[in-house]
Chain A
Amino acid sequence: MPPQPPEPMRLPNRIPGRESALAAVIVVMVAALGLRWPQFATLSSLRDVLDDTAILILLALGQMLVIVTRCIDLSVAANVALSGMIVAQLEQSHPSLPILVLMIFGMLAGSVFGAVNGLLVWLVRVPSIVATLGTMAMFRGIVYLISAGRWINSDQLSPQFQQEIRDTWLGLSMLSWLAIAGVALIALLLRYTNAGRRLYLAGGNPAAAAYVGVQVGRSQFNAFVLCGMLAGLCGYLWVARFAVAYTDIASGFELQVIAACVIGGVSIRGGSGTVAGVLLGCVFLGIVRNALPLVGISPFWQMAVNGLVIVGAAMLNEQASAEQPRRILEPDAK
């Protein structure tokens, strides 16, 4: 191969390279798994993986918006449980309501809970990790109180409530389509709207953002509301998919959501992260967690493998960003 001419100087643009690398890893992984276990690389099997990953994708998109603004939302999974319980109770008491209404209601409920986080961060200036650590416990407590600790089971939910997200269109389930729609909408929002661009500005350099008239707190509030809205939607999806609502659904899921963002290259320091990266991060995690039981790795070691993947991805992220020219005055990155 002839030596490549040196690339012309341009703004550091590490992101596409990183994403294609992750995509390549995913392709290689699927191919390798497919060679050994042909039933894994079939179209229907990959469709199942997408179906299984859809909720993770939607939640990770919301979490990305929050992380881009230099915050974090530990309460997403609790929000899923609370919105899910509210939707399930509504459906139980009004079985005739159309699914679309329930879905919108779930999104509204989720947005309200997200707004609670957002207001605490924006107006009360509580650090996001503290605010959402607190609301995480509060949301779960509220689920327990409004349900009196009881489960809502499949026979108490209408068949249509459970079926809607499983209906297929062009070979994919509605659940998968919702995730695809979510990806498209968030991508458009971040690329083409002012509000979307402001999220990056607010997280990338809050001081500069304030000078050019962007209200950092307000952008953070917006991110929390959107994240909450997606969590509310996932509340409905979770209950419909697993046909059961109770206090502990999705417990601990917030860490998987954050892990998906990290693997997808979203910087916890704010200001960077792409929809494509998050999508790939989720698909990667989805394939790993669907393949582990298939490969038959001892269930006892699955958690360690997960941890190794997260640590490895985080180290690669930092290696990539180390190549960036250092700013003379680093904002106090926390």
Chain B
Amino acid sequence: MRIAIVAKQLGSGYSDAIRKGGEQASAELGKVQMIFTGPSTPTAEGQIEVLNTLIAQQVNAIAVAANDPDALVPTLKRAMQRGIKVISFDSAVSPEGRIVHLAPSSDALVGETCLQLAQAAAPGGKGKIAILSASATATNQNAWIAAMQSALPRHPDLQLVATVYGDDLSDKSYREALALLKRFPDLAVIVAPTSIGIVAAAKAIEDEHLTGKVFVTGLGLPSELLGHINAGSVKSFALWNPIDLGYSAVTLATHLARGAKTGPGATVPLGRIGSVTFDQAGTGPMSKPFIFDGANTAEFAKIF
């Protein structure tokens, strides 16, 4: 049995951790060969080329972290017509292009967690915050930003002053962070729900000698943020466990490929993780984001 995992792009700590989790699952399930692949640039067109070769190889199931929720649909439909079980994980595909979607966490939870972290980081629990996102077209980030905006009324002490985009490029993210610091001299927190943006923002604050005055939080990998936790520019940040995510994606895809039925409303066991329940749209959120701080980051940095 061959299960294919299609990442958004290869070459990041995050996709590496997903691969690790997938390998654990395939070893545990037995007789499962995992194919871990992805395009050279994070584009839908690149993923389609990869998907076409997977369809040709007649794999049993495909789990894809989509670069675009709509553009992959026709290709994935064709895969399903040829008997391949398709799920999306991490970043969703529209319902008609997959059987179910395995979300690392619900958008609302991510938004709420980011705001809680911002409040915890802000001196005195109040002040101005700004969001530094990935590209303006990143679907995941946009959903989280929308969730943050709708959760804002529950945090009246926080004032969202700007949302800027670093395009997941280190230099642009760094420059946008510097511009935020200049535009809002009394900024308290930068929230960056993207692993490249959060590192660049932390570096910018350290370089401007604003450590202790402005803080960075958001979503990132412990291994990439350990240095900034130690430097003091980041107090705490959040992420789900990408190893668990990879593990769950492979386990779920294998279940489907072995003939299990699932869909909206169903609950599926996921080995050591427990189980996941799919809602009416066929989305199964796994867990609340895990919070990393000075106490546990070093330990997790060794893993992912």
B205 to chain A, nearest CB (A): 12
Known A48-B178, A52-B178, A243-B203; judge A299-B11 contact (CB<8 A).
no
B225 to chain A, nearest CB (A): 8
Known A40-B182, A290-B179, A293-B176; judge A155-B207 contact (CB<8 A).
no
Given contacts A45-B182, A151-B224, A299-B164, 15 further A-B pairs with CB under 8 A are: A39-B185, A52-B175, A153-B199, A154-B199, A154-B203, A154-B226, A157-B227, A242-B174, A244-B199, A252-B169, A289-B175, A293-B175, A293-B179, A296-B162, A299-B136
Cross-chain contact B182 with A39 (CB below 8 angstroms)? yes
Cross-chain contact B199 with A243 (CB below 8 angstroms)? yes
The secondary structure that dominates the B interface is helix
Within 8 Å of chain B (Cβ to Cβ): is A248?
yes
B54 to chain A, nearest CB (A): 20
Please, how many residues of chain A have a CB less than 8 angstroms from a CB on the other chain? 37
Contacts of B175 in A (CB 8 A): 52, 289-290, 293
Cross-chain contact A154 with B228 (CB below 8 angstroms)? yes
Cross-chain contact B136 with A242 (CB below 8 angstroms)? no
* Contacts from A to B (Cβ < 8 Å): 37, 39-40, 45, 48, 52, 144, 147, 149-151, 153-157, 166, 238, 241-244, 246-253, 289-290, 293-294, 296, 299-300
Cross-chain contact A153 with B11 (CB below 8 angstroms)? no
Q: How far is the CA of A144 from the CA of B9 in the complex (A)?
A: 12
Cross-chain contact B179 with A242 (CB below 8 angstroms)? no
Q: How far is the CA of A144 from the CA of B230 in the complex (A)?
A: 28
Residue of A nearest to B15 (CB): A149
Contacts of A154 in B (CB 8 A): 199, 203, 224, 226-228, 231
Known A251-B169, A294-B179; judge A155-B11 contact (CB<8 A).
no
Cross-chain contact A149 with B12 (CB below 8 angstroms)? yes
Q: How far is the CA of A243 from the CA of B227 in the complex (A)?
A: 10
Residue of B11, B15, B16 most packed against chain A (CB within 10 A):
B11
| Residues 1 to 59 of chain B near chain A (Cβ within 8 Å) | 10-13, 15-16
Cross-chain contact A293 with B164 (CB below 8 angstroms)? yes
Bitwise, B170-197 to A at CB < 8 A (1) or not (0) is: 1100111011101101000000000000
* Contacts from B to A (Cβ < 8 Å): 10-13, 15-16, 136, 162, 164-165, 169-171, 174-176, 178-180, 182-183, 185, 199-200, 203, 207, 223-224, 226-228, 230-231, 301
Q: Which of B179, B182, B301 contacts A155 (CB 8 A)?
A: B301
Q: How far is the CA of A252 from the CA of B11 in the complex (A)?
A: 17
Residue of A nearest to B171 (CB): A242
24 A–B pairs (Cβ distance < 8 Å), ordered by A? A39-B185, A45-B182, A52-B178, A149-B12, A151-B12, A151-B223, A151-B224, A153-B223, A153-B226, A153-B227, A154-B203, A154-B227, A155-B223, A157-B227, A241-B203, A244-B199, A246-B11, A247-B11, A248-B11, A253-B171, A289-B175, A293-B176, A293-B180, A296-B162
Q: How far is the CA of A39 from the CA of B226 in the complex (A)?
A: 33
B115 to chain A, nearest CB (A): 22
B165 to chain A, nearest CB (A): 5
Q: How far is the CA of A285 from the CA of B73 in the complex (A)?
A: 40
Residue of B nearest to A293 (CB): B179
Cross-chain contact A155 with B178 (CB below 8 angstroms)? no
The A/B interface has a contact count, at CB < 8 Å, of: 87
B69 to chain A, nearest CB (A): 19
Cross-chain contact B183 with A166 (CB below 8 angstroms)? no
Contacts of A294 in B (CB 8 A): 179, 182-183
Q: How far is the CA of A40 from the CA of B182 in the complex (A)?
A: 8
Contacts of A253 in B (CB 8 A): 171
Q: How far is the CA of A156 from the CA of B226 in the complex (A)?
A: 9
Q: How far is the CA of A122 from the CA of B164 in the complex (A)?
A: 45
B22 to chain A, nearest CB (A): 15
Contacts of B200 in A (CB 8 A): 242
B46 to chain A, nearest CB (A): 13
Q: How far is the CA of A121 from the CA of B162 in the complex (A)?
A: 48
B192 to chain A, nearest CB (A): 14
A137 to chain B, nearest CB (A): 9
B168 to chain A, nearest CB (A): 9
Cross-chain contact B164 with A153 (CB below 8 angstroms)? no
Contacts of B207 in A (CB 8 A): 166
Contacts of B183 in A (CB 8 A): 37, 39, 293-294, 296
Known A166-B207, A294-B183, A299-B165; judge A244-B170 contact (CB<8 A).
yes
